[in-house]
Every structure is written in C-alpha cells, then in structure tokens.
Amino acid sequence: MPIYQSSTFVQPSATEFQEYDYTRSGNPTRSALEKLVAGMEGAHAAFAFTSGMAALSCMTRLVKAGDEIICNADIYGGMYRLLTKVATRQGITVKFVQIWNLEEVKKAMTSKTKIVHIESPSNPLMMVTDIRALSKIVHERGALLTVDNTILTPLLMKPLELGADVVVHSATKFFGGHADVMSGFVCCKTEELSKQIYFHQNAEGTGLAPFDCWLVLRGIKTMAVRIERGMSNTVEVAKFLAAQPIVKKAVRYDLQMSQSKGAGVLLSFETGNVELSQRIVSALKIFKITVSFGGCSSVVEMPSVLSHASIPKDEQAGIPCKPPSRSR
Ligand SMILES: *Cc1c(COP(=O)(O)O)cnc(C)c1O
C-alpha cells in the first residue's frame, strides 16, 4: 500500500466529489489499515487514531453528561487518568470495580451505566475476566461492553465474538511492533457505533497520519510471527520464574484458555517485596527498563513507578508499590 502523503485531494468538478477530499476525513492509506484491522477483529468497521489514548478518548464519546462508565479496578494508568481527570469533567460518573468478580459488576451497575470497560488480562495484575458471561450481564442492563485488547491482540482473542460491542487497541504495542510509531484503534461491532466513532474521529481530528498508517500496515505483516516467538519465549521465562521461591503469584490459566488461543507475550510476577523487585529489575541485562511493550526487544518495568504512576498509590488496585517518583 503506498503512502498517500497528501492533505487535500482534487475533485472532478464543482458539483461532483470523489471518495477522498481531505485527510482528516479520510485517506486511502488509513482506509487500507482500518479495513485490515476491522477484518482481524471481525468488526463492522475499525478506526485508526494517533495513539491508544486517542482511541480510548474517542470511545468515551459514546456516553454523555449524566451517564456512567464502570471500569476494571486494575487498568492501564493512562486510562485511569482519562476517566478520573477528563471524563469526570464532562459530567460522566466513573466507578472502578473488580470486574473479574462478576457479582461486583451486578452490584455496581445502575440505569445510568452506559459503558462497562475492561482489559483482560488486566494490566499489570493479569486478572482474567469471563467476557462471555460479562457481556450477558452488561447487555441485560442495556449497556455496552468495551474491551481493551492491546495485550492479546486479535490473533489470540476476538472480544467481539465473545460478546463485546467495542474493542480498543494501543497499536503502539504489538501492531506497530518495532517501538517506532504510536497509534490506536477503535473497532465497532455495529454500523450505528461505527457512525458515532467516525463522526468524532473526523470532528476532533484524531485520525492517524498517512505515514504512521503505513508503518502500522508494515508492522502487521510480521505480527503473527512476532507473537508466536514472543509467546514461546514467555513460556520459558514463566517456567524459570515458577521455579523461584521468591515468586508469589499465578494467573487463572483455565479461564484464559477458554476465551483465547494463547496467554500472550506479557508476563507479570510479584515478589512480595518492593525493594527486592527493584533490585531484580535493575540487575537484568537483556531486559531493558521501558514503560512500554510489544516491540522486538525484551523489556521489563515496575508498574507502580512507570506505566501506572499516574494512579495515586492508595488507589492502585493491589499493585505492590512505593510512592511514584514522578508522574506521567
Ligand atoms: C499502552 C496502552 C494504552 C495506551 O496506548 P498509547 O498508544 O500509549 O496511547 C492503553 N491500554 C493499554 C492496555 C496499553 O498497554
């Protein structure tokens, strides 16, 4: 697919218009990417944004002042900040619950709940939610289920097939795959949702630029092999960690395998001791300390200090932590 590095497109005449007129509203390179990703997720349509956060922000446009969003208690730090510091200023009520415990969701939902938003597995605690069962609960009460599928990608899990209405991605991670481009997707199950998301993508000018679309298109070509190799490497690291007496925590593997083709490339572990964790992270030689994941290098981080530092310590849902040294 060529890069249509053009903001404006010549029209045939004063009264006839062709498909593309202005890149904010549509660009052939972006369309090619969006069509490919819609196919991968089994969506009615997908939309490419300038980052995962821009995609998540657009998703919150599906609700209005007075409505309520219920979100996983364990969630990406940037999403926590968007919900608590941006959405609430627009008159949206936000509740955080341990959604992997479905009884908690039933208790928390009200007639005002319009979106229930999850990551599964969650970042960083790797809590797995039964998406099929959750979608029934959410739909019975007339709300939408939105799933951030960044960690597994459509190659391992397709939330729309499990009952979700909207899937969101930080394509900065596995789609791009080389830590050289930022982008995000919103993938919609229905035409009605697609229309709303497209309206906001155009109205707010958050669509992904042509060159970046091309980089993500190129990343996707090797995504399957990168994920396959990443997963087999992760299994070896997990086996090694499981044999270490300092490692304290395992994940609900059965549920994960009932709704996905694999457990993914990401792994988290707890030592029960913040200083010990810091020493381990600093001593690693192959694993570089970075805030992100999904590139071709092996990386490590402490969520409480990096990716989740924007969540106040006392609200970090069980993330073992020290007061963050800086805020992001
Ligand atoms: C990184 C990430 C985001 C944010 O995406 P950006 O591309 O950094 O804006 C959202 N959700 C999850 C699960 C992430 O890992």
d(CA 270, CA 2): 46
53 in contact with ligand 1, CB cutoff 6 A = yes
For all residues of the chain together, what is the average pLDDT? Answer: 91
Spot the catalytic one: 76, 80, 130, 165: 76
Query: pLDDT (tens digit, 9 = 90+) per residue, 145-194?
Result: 999 999 999 999 999 999 999 999 999 999 999 999 999 999 999 999 99
Amino acid at the residue 274 = V
pLDDT (mean) for 3-27: 95
Give the nearest ligand 1 atom to 75 CA. Answer: 13
Q: Which pLDDT score, from 0 to 100, does residue 263 have?
A: 87
List of residues 6+ apart from 246 with CB closer than 8 A: 271, 272, 273, 276
Confidence of residue 268 (pLDDT cuts 50, 70, 90): confident
51 in contact with ligand 1, CB cutoff 6 A = yes
Give the nearest ligand 1 atom to 184 CA. Answer: 7
d(CA 224, CA 196): 31
Confidence of residue 306 (pLDDT cuts 50, 70, 90): low
Q: Which pLDDT score, from 0 to 100, does residue 274 have?
A: 85
Q: Which pLDDT score, from 0 to 100, does residue 322 have?
A: 34
Cβ atoms < 10 Å from Cβ of 246: 13
Q: Which pLDDT score, from 0 to 100, does residue 291 have?
A: 83
Q: Which pLDDT score, from 0 to 100, does residue 307 have?
A: 64
Question: Rounded to 5 degrees, what are φ and ψ at 214?
Answer: -65, -40
Which domains occur in the chain, in start order?
28-221 (3.40.640.10), 223-318 (3.90.1150.10)
Ligand 1 centroid vs 222 CA: distance in angstroms? 20
User: Does 217 or 256 have the greater pLDDT score?
Assistant: 217
Q: Which pLDDT score, from 0 to 100, does residue 318 have?
A: 52
Q: Which pLDDT score, from 0 to 100, does residue 125 have?
A: 84
Q: Whose CA is nearest to atom 6 of ligand 1?
A: 52
Spot the catalytic one: 148, 158, 198, 226: 148
- Considering only 65-79, 240-254, 291-305, which range has the smallest mean pLDDT? 240-254
User: For 159-222, where are the alpha helices, taking DSSP H only?
Assistant: 159-162, 191-204, 210-221
pLDDT (mean) for 268-295: 89
148 in contact with ligand 1, CB cutoff 6 A = yes
Ligand 1 centroid vs 73 CA: distance in angstroms? 16
Confidence of residue 223 (pLDDT cuts 50, 70, 90): very high
Give the nearest ligand 1 atom to 183 CA. Answer: 7
Q: Name which of 269, 323, 328, 317 is nearest 74 in CA terms.
A: 317
Query: pLDDT (tens digit, 9 = 90+) per residue, 274-287?
Result: 889 899 999 999 99
Confidence of residue 248 (pLDDT cuts 50, 70, 90): confident
User: Angle at CA 180, nearest 5°, toward 287 and 237?
Assistant: 25
Ligand 1 centroid vs 272 CA: distance in angstroms? 26
pLDDT (mean) for 308-315: 65
The pTM of the full predicted model, rounded to 2 decimals, is 0.92
pLDDT (mean) for 189-207: 98
Spot the catalytic one: 24, 132, 136, 252: 24
Q: Name which of 138, 130, 113, 133 is nearest 62 in CA terms.
A: 113
Give, as one character, the DSSP assignment of residue 86: I
**Displacement of CA 3 from its chain's centroid (Å):** 26
- What proportion of the chain, given as a percentage, has pLDDT over 70? 92
Q: Which pLDDT score, from 0 to 100, does residue 90 have?
A: 95
Ligand 1 centroid vs 52 CA: distance in angstroms? 5
Q: Which pLDDT score, from 0 to 100, does residue 311 have?
A: 65
Ligand 1 centroid vs 8 CA: distance in angstroms? 30
Q: Which of 127, 150, 182 to mutate to test the pocket of ligand 1 (most atoms within 8 A of CB)?
A: 150
Can 173 be counted among the known catalytic residues?
yes
pLDDT at 319 over 70: no
Can 64 be counted among the known catalytic residues?
no
Spot the catalytic one: 81, 114, 158, 173: 173
Both tokens of 248, joined, read 């304290």
Amino acid at the residue 204 = E
Ligand 1 centroid vs 305 CA: distance in angstroms? 16
Query: pLDDT (tens digit, 9 = 90+) per residue, 121-145?
Result: 988 888 899 999 999 999 999 999 9
Q: Which pLDDT score, from 0 to 100, does residue 321 have?
A: 39
User: Does 308 or 281 have the greater pLDDT score?
Assistant: 281
Give, as one character, the DSSP assignment of residue 184: E
- What proportion of the chain, given as a percentage, has pLDDT over 90? 75
Amino acid at the residue 245 = P
